[in-house]
């Protein structure tokens, strides 16, 4: 069992607190890190991957401070940054060989692992083509493959499914579910459905601090009785509802408009119905609407 304890993690840049007293313990399984842009998700990930040092607090892996473990700890990490450009004159195979060497894999180990991962991400047939000519989705798949090269115990993925088509996303989710039994996977994404389908727990971050943490049931239960569906065939009324309530979704049908709203009190319209909350609603409730994309 892997255990990563994040204790009172604080990171400041001048006066700005990027992370504020984050305390959380992660064990095997997938954890979703959810929050709007600039909420401090990437800063947490950078500290977990030793890219930056905390201003205060510590990170403990299986009882040892990761600063003390140093190279030994990094040997256990797989990391996919939010954006990274592969070397244009390298083939997919050469790129993975390079990362395998960085991860300290022997030639024999890396040969087998690279072929296995290229198959897994569906790039085996184009393994000898230069990565510079790959599409965005293909480059992302190379990124996913490199993160898995050392069979990491802690896998940190920053927006891993950005740029993947729905089929690739589904395949990637399945892959994460398969491999999550014996590792800690921390997944940061804006794509709420990714977290909804694979994360055993979600950590919601706002202004650098943990807003909420728990499994789906815990998080959704907080929204129970606060999500409503309102149908109207009056355009003016629809505008009024939008102006009066936090509107998560507007669906225009043939005869009417269906609005999904969040409110502490039941909106006073004839067609108002309480509906089951979804993860998207939680996100909308706690974060600004403009920060939600690709749900």
Partner 1 sequence: MGTLIRLEIRKMLFKKRMLIVWLGSLFLSFVTIRAFSIEETYADIFSKGYGLVPLMGIMMFMMFSGAYTLEYSSNMGGLIKTTENGKRKIVLAKLVAAGISASIINVSVFLTVCLAALTKFKFEGLDLPLENLWYFGKSGSNITVIQMILIMIATIILGSFFFAQVGLFLSSLSKSAAVPFILGGLFMGLPYILEGVLRNLGLVKYLFFTPLWGMMSCELIRFKAPMVAPIFLIVMFVVTSLLLIKFTLKAFIKQE
Cβ proximity to partner 1, 146 vs 232, nearer residue: 146
Q: Which of 2, 12, 50, 249 binds partner 1 (CB under 8 A)?
A: 50
The reply to whether 103 sits near partner 1 by the rule CB under 8 A is yes
Residues in a beta bridge with 212: 204
Choose the stretch contacting partner 1; rule: CB under 8 A; options: 28-36, 50-58, 189-197, 271-279.
Answer: 50-58
Q: Which of 27, 38, 56, 84 binds partner 1 (CB under 8 A)?
A: 84
The reply to whether 155 sits near partner 1 by the rule CB under 8 A is no
Task: Note whether 156 and 80 are within 8 A (CB).
Answer: yes
The reply to whether 289 sits near partner 1 by the rule CB under 8 A is no
Q: What is the spatial distance between Cα 3 and Cα 153, in angstroms, rounded to a whole number?
A: 10
Cβ proximity to partner 1, 9 vs 241, nearer residue: 9
Output phi, psi for 238, to 5 deg.
-60, -40
Place of tokens 């390079």: 98
The reply to whether 107 sits near partner 1 by the rule CB under 8 A is yes
The reply to whether 68 sits near partner 1 by the rule CB under 8 A is no
Q: What is the spatial distance between Cα 122 and Cα 118, in angstroms, rounded to a whole number?
A: 6
Q: Which of 79, 134, 172, 228 binds partner 1 (CB under 8 A)?
A: 79
Choose the stretch contacting partner 1; rule: CB under 8 A; options: 15-23, 60-68, 73-81, 211-219.
Answer: 73-81
For partner 1, the binding residues in 108-137 under the rule CB under 8 A are 110
Cβ proximity to partner 1, 46 vs 169, nearer residue: 46
Compute how many residues bind partner 1; rule: CB under 8 A. Answer: 33
CB under 8 A, 24+ apart: contacts of 96-103: 96/142, 96/145, 96/146, 96/149, 99/146, 99/149, 100/149, 100/150, 103/75, 103/149, 103/150
Grouping H, G, I as helix, E, B as strand and the rest as coil, residue 123 is coil
Q: Which of 29, 81, 163, 214 binds partner 1 (CB under 8 A)?
A: 81
Minimum CB–partner distance for residue 97 and partner 1 (Å): 6
For partner 1, the binding residues in 240-259 under the rule CB under 8 A are none
Q: What is the spatial distance between Cα 31 and Cα 198, in angstroms, rounded to a whole number?
A: 8
Question: What H or E segment, with its residue span, contains residue 252?
Answer: strand 246-252
Task: Note whether 184 and 199 are within 8 A (CB).
Answer: no
Task: Note whether 235 and 243 are within 8 A (CB).
Answer: no
Place of tokens 């959704």: 220
Minimum CB–partner distance for residue 101 and partner 1 (Å): 4
Minimum CB–partner distance for residue 14 and partner 1 (Å): 15
HSE-CB for 43 with a 13 A CA cutoff: 27
Beta pairing class for 29-34 and 201-206? parallel
The reply to whether 198 sits near partner 1 by the rule CB under 8 A is no
The reply to whether 46 sits near partner 1 by the rule CB under 8 A is yes
Query: Could you list the residues that contact partner 1 (CB under 8 A)?
Result: 46, 49-52, 71, 74-75, 77, 79-81, 83-87, 89-90, 94, 97-104, 107, 110, 146, 150, 156
């Amino acid at each position: 069992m892997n255990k990563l304890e994040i204790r009172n993690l604080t990171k400041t840049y001048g006066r700005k607190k990027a992370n504020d007293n984050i305390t959380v313990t992660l064990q095997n399984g997938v954890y979703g890190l959810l929050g709007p842009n600039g909420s401090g998700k990437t800063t947490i990930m950078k500290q977990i991957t030793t890219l930056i040092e905390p201003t205060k607090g510590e990170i403990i892996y299986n009882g040892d401070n990761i600063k003390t473990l140093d190279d030994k700890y990094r040997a256990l990490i797989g990391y996919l940054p939010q954006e990274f450009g592969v070397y244009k004159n390298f083939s997919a195979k050469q790129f993975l060989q390079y990362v395998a060497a960085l991860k300290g894999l022997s030639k024999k180990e890396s040969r087998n692992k690279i072929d296995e991962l290229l198959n897994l991400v569906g790039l085996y047939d184009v393994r000898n083509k230069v990565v510079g000519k790959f599409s965005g989705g293909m480059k992302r798949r190379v990124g996913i493959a490199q993160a898995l090269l050392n069979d990491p115990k802690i896998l940190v993925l920053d927006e891993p499914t950005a740029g993947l088509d729905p089929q690739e996303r589904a395949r990637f989710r399945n892959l994460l579910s398969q491999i999550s039994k014996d590792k800690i996977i921390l997944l940061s994404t804006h794509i709420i459905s990714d977290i909804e389908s694979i994360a055993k727990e979600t950590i919601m971050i706002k202004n650098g601090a943990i807003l909420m943490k728990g499994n789906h049931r815990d998080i959704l239960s907080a929204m129970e009785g606060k999500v409503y569906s309102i149908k109207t065939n009056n355009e003016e009324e629809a505008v009024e509802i939008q102006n009066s309530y936090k509107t998560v979704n507007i669906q225009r049908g043939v005869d009417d408009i269906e609005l999904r709203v969040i409110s502490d009190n039941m909106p006073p319209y004839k067609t108002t119905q309480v509906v089951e909350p979804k993860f998207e609603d939680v996100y909308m409730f706690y974060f600004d609407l403009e920060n939600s994309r690709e749900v």
